[in-house]
Amino acid sequence: ETGVTQSPTHLIKTRGQQVTLRCSSQSGHNTVSWYQQALGQGPQFIFQYYREEENGRGNFPPRFSGLQFPNYSSELNVNALELDDSALYLCASRRGGLNEKLFFGSGTQLSVL
């Protein structure tokens, strides 16, 4: 059983650019969520996808968008990057059902200069 994998592991962008982060869910998991973790902070919920539809969103602006594909892999897109977007972006997957265990990937470290 493969775990949650994210790519790339590190990324450097400049302000105003756009970025796409990718996540492959653990086998058999149909729910994926994305979190942003700033340095020294706990992760903050961005949004969740269940069977290719967004079914929950945190307090993030519309320039944060996502997709989930039929194979349950997922993308996080961020437009018009700002300096404060510099953070570790974590993808997590689980089977359907709130109390199912959540598995996190190792994250993508994004630096915006």
Q: Quick check: 102 binds another protein (CB under 8 A)? A: yes
Stretch that binds another protein, among 11-19, 44-52, 67-75, 78-86 (CB under 8 A): 44-52
DSSP 6-52: EE-SEEEE-TT--EEEEEEPPTT--EEEEEEE-TTS--EEEEEEETT
Q: Quick check: 48 binds another protein (CB under 8 A)? A: yes
Strand 31-37, strand 53-57: pairing: unpaired
Pick the closer one to another protein by CB: 62 or 97.
97
Pick the closer one to another protein by CB: 36 or 112.
36
104 exposure class (CB count in 10 Å sphere: 0-12, 13-18, 19+): middle
- For another protein, the binding residue among 14, 96, 111, 113 (CB under 8 A) is 96
Interface residue list for another protein (CB under 8 A): 4, 31, 33, 35, 40-45, 48, 50, 55-56, 58-59, 90, 92, 94, 96-99, 101-107
